[in-house]
Structure 1
Amino acid sequence: MWGTIATWRMAHDGVLKASDLLQKNGHATDAVEALINVVEAYPYYKSVGYGGLPNEEGVVEMDAAFMDGDTLAQGAVGGIHSVMHAVSVARALSHEHYNSFRVGEGATKFATLHGFEMTNMLTDRAKARWEKRLAEQRAQPDNPYDGHDTVGAITLDTNASMAAATSTSGLFMKKAGRVGDSPLSGSGFYVDSEIGGAAATGLGEDIMKGCLSYEIVRRMGEGQSPQEACDEAVYPFIEKLKRRYGKAGEFSLVAMNNQGEWGVATNVEFTFSVATAEASPRILIAHPGPDHTTTIEPITQAWLDAYEKRIKAPIN
């Protein structure tokens, strides 16, 4: 038995990589890192790693986290600069009992001193998008934020070990030093090999108000299926947030238990990739359904073709 699930279409090539490792009895920790690394290295994904969109000052600041479901060890980075694979730095930090969550210059210095691949993460394409947005903001100062899609993943290996990881460049045009939910334990991610794991993507400032990844794992631990746990954790909280805070941003969460069963909940159109020992890797699309449920369908070729065209379109 093995399985993996990850957020967004952009994770699919990583899911293929992780699936190959897991089928060959690879460890969940290696598989989840490899999955995220694939996404971090692809320059056309504008919200993760190389090619990620910068903050308002033109600096690509990345957040990432890693968690071992066997030991509960965690490592995380916030606002790290100039490192190709932020999640790998987070994994290295998970081996530290102290100082396992590093931010800004401290995180970047750790990566430099420990031999991680360092590079200029601002691609010409991302710089062009930033310059275009600067011009738009001068013309319309209240232009809203966009581009906050985190890659979050859960893996289960044939020895019943589990792992979770996240990586993101965060909100496009965010303030320098802003950190969202992605590196925060219980909000952006959580995994326990005795139960299962969950990971989030969306507007971090609102997701972190609910600690939803931990809540989903807690519910699975009480006997709910991953889908039940996702539906019953996410949708009532969105309603609560609208009622008490006045609004709620985008929320999408994925989960998998230690039996390879999985679930998803979202308040937007949300694609994800999933693979198990029983089902080959595939991309699915989810929408919020009636009465706190989630509608999940296969992705269409037309959608995939439009996606590829959109992410590679020239910057005018």
Structure 2
Amino acid sequence: MAHDGVVEAIQTLSNQGTSGDAVETLIKTVEDYPFYKSVGFGGLPNAEGILEMDAAYMEGDTFQIGAVAGITDVKNPISVARKLSQDKFNSFRVGDGASKYAMLEGFERKNMLTKRAHRIWEKRLKEIHENNLNPYDGHDTVGAITLDKQGSMTAGTSSSGLFMKKPGRVGDSPLSGSGFYVDSEIGGAAATGLGEDLMKGCLSYEIVRLMGEGLTPQQACDQAVYSFHDKLTKRYGKCGAFSLVAMNNQGQWGVATNVEFTFSVGNHLETPQIFIANMGDNHTTNIQPITQEWLDAYEKRIKAPID
């Protein structure tokens, strides 16, 4: 989902853009693409058919954070979050307050609910009613960490949240320490998955903390994610899907996940590449490049006609 954005972000960095510019560019690319059902334009709505979006932005040099939750009819929530990070007070806005702020600050207004997404919502509503199904089907976030030539790091997230969520529901994506965290002297992390379970562990902060103690990004991801997966399963009785990506201030990266998870990585020396990760044995992660066959099937699936 983030691959085209990663390509754009690397171009931004190569043109002397900051890590903040790169994160915003990357996430806006995802927000603008109508076939991603869990972020921005084309995202799936809540139980009442309203598309509520969450986003966050954090600078690793200063720890400035801006975030929005439940924002509606705004083209790029990540840009609103970045603007809010400049404010000492009121830097996290929700619901009508977030939407009004965006309007007053001149951000582009747009009906973000596409006909395709509305049709998916109608179909799901019918299936729930006729078959007494669990309404919750699908949750995903674009999360990104960037590092620029000056050594500055930035993290960002954007999501339309859990499909068919109750109005006003907010997941982990805009919450510091859960959905994201970054410290330019150490590194950053970002999460995707079931927010209600991710926020129980504050895993993004924990990964950065572990990197600060000397662990590599991969070691930090494996230790934080799988230890918490086991703990939550034991004490809560179950554990939802979650996946985390991380990068340190040297550009080394890591990933851990308890479901099949794809992600994209690139820099000025290596062409951006998409990988697929799965939980391995003994708190490890299996990571392999995707195949063209996998990518073709993915493209076909997300663009398939809705009956």
What's the TM-score, normalizing by structure 2?
0.99
Amino acid at match of 1:227: Q
CA distances 1:75-96 after superposition (whole Å, capped 9, x unpaired):
0000000001001000010001
- The gaps in structure 1 that reach 5 residues or longer are 1-9
Instruction: Give distance in 2, aligned partners of 1:148 and 1:99.
Output: 28
1:92 counterpart = 2:121: no
Partner of 1:143, secondary structure, is coil
The 10-residue stretch of structure 1 (141-150 or 35-44) with the greater mean CA deviation from structure 2: 141-150
SS of aligned partner of 2:163: coil
CA contact (8 A) 1:53 1:169 kept: yes
Gapped runs of 5+ residues in structure 2? none
Counterpart in 2 of 1:286?
Answer: 277
Alignment of 1:60-209 (within 5 A): 60-209=51-200
In the alignment, is the contact (CA less than 8 A) between 1:136 and 1:143 conserved in 2?
no
Deviation digits for residues 39-87 of structure 1 (CA, Å, limit 9, x no counterpart): 0000000000000000010000000000011110000000000001001
Following the alignment from structure 1 to structure 2, what is the Cα–Cα distance between the partners of residues 265 and 214? 14
255, 265, 270: which one aligns with 2:256: 265
1:204-229 per-position Cα deviation (integer Å, ceiling 9, x unaligned): 00000000000000000010000000
Of the structure 1 ranges 138-147 and 284-293, higher mean CA displacement relative to structure 2 is found in 138-147
Report the 3-state secondary structure (helix = DSSP H, G, I; strand = E; otherwise coil) of the residue aligned with 2:266.
strand
TM-score by length of 1: 0.96
Match of 2:19 in 1: 28
Residues in 2 aligned to 1:67 and 1:159: alpha-carbon distance in whole angstroms: 17
Asked if 1:233 is matched to 2:224, the reply is: yes
- 1:314 is matched with 305
Q: Is 2:289 the partner of 1:298? A: yes
**Contact 1:47 1:53 (C-alpha < 8 Å) held by counterparts:** yes
Q: Shift of residue 142 of structure 1?
A: 3.3
How many Å apart are 1:140 and its aligned residue?
2.2
Kindly indicate whether residue 8 of structure 2 is the aligned counterpart of residue 17 of structure 1: yes
- Is the 8 Å Cα contact of residues 76 and 90 (structure 1) preserved in structure 2? yes
In the alignment, is the contact (CA less than 8 A) between 2:68 and 2:80 conserved in 1? yes
| Aligned equivalents of 2:293, 2:30: Cα separation in 1 | 22
Please report how far the alpha carbon of residue 24 of structure 1 lies from its aligned counterpart in structure 2 after TM superposition.
Answer: 2.4
Moved over 4 A (4+): none
Cα displacement (A) at 1:138 = 0.6
Q: What secondary structure, in the 3-state scheme, does the structure 2 residue paired with 1:91 have?
A: helix
State the match for 2:204 in structure 1: 213
Offset of residue 279 of structure 1: 1.8
Measure the CA separation in 1 of the matches of 2:209 and 2:181: 10
Structure 2 contact 40–76 (Cα < 8 Å) conserved? yes
Q: Deviations over 1:86-111 (max 9, x none)?
A: 01000010001110000000000000
Tell me the SS of whatever aligns to 1:174.
coil
Alignment-derived partner of residue 4 in structure 1:
none
Letter in 1 for 2:57: F
Q: Tell me how far apart the structure 2 counterparts of residues 41 and 275 of structure 1 sit (CA, whole Å).
A: 21
Q: CA deviation at 1:144?
A: 4.1
What is the RMSD computed on CA atoms of the aligned residues? 0.7
